[in-house]
Amino acid sequence: MDKKFSQDITIPCYQTDVNGRLKPAAFMDMMQEMAYLAATELGFGYEALQTHHTAWVLSRMHFTFDNPPSWRDRVHMETWHKGLDGLLFLRDFRLLDDSGKVRLSCTSSWIVIDVTTRRLVRSDSLGGIVAEDTQCHEDAIATPAPKLAMPRDAQVEKVSERKVTFSDVDLNGHVNNVRYVVWATDCLPYELMEQGRLSDVVINFNREILPGETVELYMATSEQDDRMLYYIEGKVDSRQAFITELSIRK
């Protein structure tokens, strides 16, 4: 059994930024579709979980972004799942260019929820649907995506708010995870993103956001050696829905 799933992709213009480089959110779009295709091929994709009235939900992720491909670049994208880390299912990704050089690396952590109760489903309740012999223990990023919190004693300020509209919502009936990264990167000064100094994105998805809800976005910064860390937190009714850490090279 081939434990990795891969595709060759040519980067289209609509997935790139003002400099013609792949956008962070565009990579997440690609990652999301690849995860679906890979899980389906191994027998535990969207349709298979639907028979159990369950669904995959992305919980955490970390991806490096300091060498993204550009418009018209041909890349090779691969993904594999690594089994359980506590209650979280781990899946890694790589994006490589024609020479085999790694351009992006990613690790992600997933949970399974009951689509009716919206509650976590433990792995031992899935009837062995995720077979152990489908796991690959290679690391794109060795450490699973961490749990985030606003830095202590940081000055936190409200920077924006968004009301959830039709284009934000996916087939699970809540805001798609990619939208959170769009909202977070839009909180940063335009010049920082234009200069292409984003090196890492870490994000935690802590509760779903539903149509019609209003998300308040808060930001804090922290300095660390050769980079600035920007923390963007999304709250609904004062409850944290997501938090992300964006690393900007100095």
- pLDDT score recorded for residue 27: 97
Instruction: Return d(Cα 27, Cα 95) in angstroms, integer.
Output: 9
Asked whether the predicted pLDDT for residue 34 surpasses 70, the reply is yes
Q: How large a percentage of the chain has pLDDT more than 70?
A: 97
Tokens standing for residue 152: 């202590």
Tens digits of per-residue pLDDT, 180-234?
999 999 999 999 899 989 999 999 999 999 999 999 999 999 998 889 999 999 9
Other beta carbons within 10 Å of 214: 12
Instruction: Return d(Cα 203, Cα 145) in angstroms, integer.
Output: 8
Instruction: Return d(Cα 192, Cα 167) in angstroms, integer.
Output: 26
- pLDDT score recorded for residue 248: 95
Tens digits of per-residue pLDDT, 69-117?
999 999 999 999 998 888 899 999 999 999 999 999 999 999 988 888 8
Instruction: Return d(Cα 96, Cα 201) in angstroms, integer.
Output: 18
Asked whether the predicted pLDDT for residue 160 surpasses 90, the reply is yes
Long-range contacts: 149-157, Cβ < 8 Å, 24+?
A: 149/243, 150/218, 150/220, 150/231, 150/233, 150/243, 151/220, 151/222, 151/229, 151/231, 154/220, 154/221, 154/222, 154/231, 155/220, 156/218, 156/219, 156/220, 156/233, 157/218, 157/219, 157/220
Tokens standing for residue 113: 């929820």
Q: Average pLDDT, whole number, for the chain? A: 92
Check if the beta carbon of residue 77 is closer than 8 Å to that of residue 163: no
Tens digits of per-residue pLDDT, 10-21?
999 999 999 999
- The DSSP letter of residue 51 is T
Average pLDDT for 132-146:
92
Q: Which residue has the tokens 């799933």?
A: 5
Residue 37 carries which side chain, given as an amino acid letter? Answer: L
CA 15 centroid distance within chain: 16
pTM score: 0.92
- pLDDT score recorded for residue 121: 83
- pLDDT score recorded for residue 128: 65
Give the helix ranges, DSSP H, for the chain: 24-41, 46-50, 177-187, 190-194
Average pLDDT for 135-148:
95
- pLDDT score recorded for residue 1: 56
Residue 191 carries which side chain, given as an amino acid letter? Answer: E
Q: Where residue 55 falls among pLDDT bands split at 50, 70, 90? A: confident
